[in-house]
Amino acid sequence: MIKIFTLLNKEEWISYVGNSAEHDFYHTWHYHSLETAGDPVLFIYEESDTYIGFPLLQRKIPGSDYNDLTCVYGFSGPFSNKKIDEIDEELLENFKGAFNNFLIKEKYVSVFVRLHPFYKQQKLLEKFGGVHENGKTVVLDLSVPIDEQRKKYRQSTMDAIKHAWKRGFKVKDETNADGLNTFVEIYTENMKRVGASSYYLFNEKYFSEILNTSEYEARLLTVYYNDIAIASTIITFTNGIIQAHLVGARAEYLHHSPTKFLADCITQIGREKGMKYYNLGGGLGFKNDKLFDWKCAFSDLHLDFKTWRYIANPEIYQKLLQDKGIEENAEVDFFPLYRYA
């Protein structure tokens, strides 16, 4: 059985995600309700006592009668009421047939999805083809004692944390209106300083909404030095995983490395809440850049980050490329290529 839900089907969306064996806050109705990059849809394939859900964003392809699908900012991908790598092969094949029929019927040309590094979603999507290796994400294992965790830190990272201890840095939970204003100021300044694209610039309403939901727990934490807010972050706690969703630091205090101190404090908070992992993420665009190297200074546990890049209608995909004068073998890591530039 196939079901297609939109944001109008709030109760159904929440129920399917809530009853899944593995999901993160990126899958939730609430998180999808904040998206402006497309119209959220939840594809459900159900067979006997097993279902597979796939939350996506539908987008109109300009100048055509076709659409494509992408995903929310972050790690999403399919979920199920069973771990995907434990679902039998026949059901996975049946899902493939049902989903392909859905793509053809609704005139979808392509699908782009960032897969969740903790879940074995590739077992399902490899049946379609188009699973790409996109680098690594750095993870802190909170199951080990904190002293063992800190032994993994690069010496410069541990020195920065000790420096913060000595100077009396404090982390405060500021999941409130005042804390939000501080975060917006710090985060926006940070993104402009590093030249981030508009994709990473969110408005205050977005930040407020992401914190206010019962579908997952999100906290806003701020580092203070002599009563001055010098760094701030929004993190989430879902099914044993802390996600480092958004973070920023004031330029004039960067030499104190407040975000290193903040990351260490978050692992302590995570332990108190029974979390298993703290996912720091990867580099910008998941490249091995300075940001990735900064994160590697905390842990040698690196998980594969994969994307799914599926062409459902090769003929129309090629036509869209031709219409824009784009060579398919262009040396550009971008999908779908017809949306490039």
Residues 207 and 246 in one domain: yes
Residues 183 and 70 in one domain: no
Q: What percent of the chain has pLDDT over 90?
A: 84
Contacts 24+ apart (CB under 8 A), 192-201: 193/251, 199/73
Residues 78, 7, 94, 26, Cα dihedral to 10°:
0
Residues 207 and 322 in one domain: no
Q: Could you list the residue range(s) of the whole structural domain that residue 76 is in?
A: 2-135+305-339
Q: Is residue 254's pLDDT more than 90?
A: yes
The alpha carbon of residue 72 and the mean position of all alpha carbons in its chain are separated, in whole angstroms, by 8
Is residue 65 in some structural domain? yes
Check which CATH number belongs to the domain holding 20 and give it.
Answer: 3.40.630.30
Give the model's pLDDT for residue 259.
96
Is residue 300 in some structural domain? no
Enter the tokens of residue 284: 């910008």
In this prediction, residues 106-121 reach a mean pLDDT of 98
- CA atoms of 270 and 242, how far apart (whole Å): 7
Q: Which residue has the higher pLDDT, 329 or 275?
A: 275
Weakest mean pLDDT among 67-81, 200-214, 252-266: 200-214
Give the model's pLDDT for residue 202.
78
Is residue 299 in some structural domain? no
Q: Which residue has the higher pLDDT, 28 or 333?
A: 28
Give the model's pLDDT for residue 330.
66
In this prediction, residues 259-286 reach a mean pLDDT of 92
**Averaged pLDDT score across all residues of the chain:** 94
What is the number of structural domains in the chain?
2
Is residue 282 in some structural domain? no
Residues 126 and 150 in one domain: no
Residues 115 and 152 in one domain: no
Condensed to tens digits (0 to 9), the pLDDT of residues 316-335 reads: 999 999 998 888 776 788 99
In this prediction, residues 57-70 reach a mean pLDDT of 97
* 168: alpha, beta or left? (left if phi > 0; alpha if psi -120 to 50): left
The alpha carbon of residue 44 and the mean position of all alpha carbons in its chain are separated, in whole angstroms, by 21
Nearest CA among 237, 243, 171, 248 for reference residue 202: 248
Condensed to tens digits (0 to 9), the pLDDT of residues 169-228 reads: 999 999 998 889 999 999 888 877 877 666 667 778 889 999 999 999 999 999 999 999
In this prediction, residues 157-162 reach a mean pLDDT of 98
Give the model's pLDDT for residue 177.
87
Is residue 78 in some structural domain? yes
Is residue 297 in some structural domain? no
Residues 259 and 321 in one domain: no
Compute φ and ψ for 334, nearest 5 degrees: -150, 140
End-to-end CA distance of the chain: 39
Condensed to tens digits (0 to 9), the pLDDT of residues 131-147 reads: 999 989 999 999 999 99
